[in-house]
Amino acid sequence: ELTTDSEKRVWITLHSGSRGVGNELAKRHIEKAKGLPQNADLPKHLRELSLFYKGTPEMDAYLHDLNWAQEYAMRSRTVMMALVKRELADYIDGRPTTARPTRFDEEINCHHNYVAEEIIDGKYMIVTRKGAISAKAGELALIPGSMATGSYIVRGLGNEASFQSASHGAGRKMSRTAAKKQFTVEDVERTMKGIEARTDAGVIDEISLAYKDLDSVIAAESDLVEVVQKLDTILCVKG
């Protein structure tokens, strides 16, 4: 996305993960865990919760692959961001009205749906932030809404009760399937008015009406983060 803030600066926001590699690795390790003795008594409908014990070869192999996938995702985002920056700078600097060369500030890298090794309550732990981001004291992060509602740049407050975490976005209030049944292309076009973006049937499930109100979500976690900037979307690329 391209967004603007209250000071008329342009921000680039980019969202991408391991492109399915992490999911494939996870499925393979879960299948391996299901066959271990410590998980033998789990009911069939809970077999997805099969675990590895810390310090075992199985856990070491799992963490190795997980960290590999997370690094792959980071490198992929780095390459994509560099390409977008280059194209954007070439376009802006090539215009006769450009007064000075385009300059980019420091990037904010904000993981979500990831695993990290941290000290929590004085103990070494493997922390999974599913639908969450790290919000340590002073740490900058991004909390997006939907394709029509922009994002917030926030600074973490280091709330120990949340394991120093915050939400990774507004979150959905209805499933993709329900959104496709309830809304139309005309609804997408109406909600995306003034924003350059796809508005075809392929993005109906991403319509902003299928997501929670971003401002309310940010207000609800005022004990987890403080607002630095509100970003308003001017261009959104899905796919």
- Asked whether the beta carbons of 138 and 147 are under 8 A apart, the reply is no
> Token digits for 145?
């809404």
Please say whether the dihedral angle defined by the alpha carbons of residues 124, 130, 135 and 139, taken in this order, is positive or negative.
positive
**Pick from 69, 81, 74: nearest CA to 14:** 81
Active site residue 15: no
Which residue of the set 29, 111, 112, 168 is catalytic? 168
| Catalytic positions | 168
